[in-house]
Copies of this chain bind each other. A is one copy, B any other.
Amino acid sequence: MEASDIYKCIADTQRLRILNLLEAGPLCVCHLQELLDVTQVKMSKQLAIMKQLGLLASHREGTWMVYTLEEPTDGLLLSNLNYLREAECAECNQLQRDLLNRGKLILRITGNGEDCPEGVCQSANCC
């Protein structure tokens, strides 16, 4: 994978946020949608772009599609996620907030017995 493909990908804030979230664990499309507050179509397209690029993998669980980072995860991507999580900028703060919101989302799902794909809550020991 070429560096410029990675950069083109993460130059889009939404895609960067998605990758940041998935690095913390798998999520299905509807949860990503909720966390980023975007339409279904847009989320689906962004995920397709990144899957096509080889950054994401997905598997079906019932009607859900669960997305994960492709393994082994591209080193350049990881290096940037690590950098940004520590850095100070509007987007960096957003990434940090997203991770907090992910935690809350998973707690909520656990708490009220909402249905969710297996992998998602396994990663937080909740389902």
Q: Give A residues with C-beta under 8 Å from B.
A: 1-4, 7-8, 10-13, 16, 75-76, 79-80, 83-84, 87, 89-92
Copies of this chain assembled into the complex: 2
Q: How far is the CA of A92 from the CA of B16 in the complex (A)?
A: 22
The reply to whether B76 and A87 contact each other, CB–CB distance below 8 Å, is yes
Write 11 A-B pairs (CB below 8 A) sorted by A numbering: A3-B16, A3-B84, A3-B92, A4-B10, A4-B11, A4-B13, A4-B16, A7-B11, A8-B11, A75-B83, A76-B83
Minimum Cβ distance to chain B for residue A54 (Å): 13
Q: How far is the CB of A76 from chain B (nearest CB, A)?
A: 6
A88 to B: closest C-beta gap in Å: 10
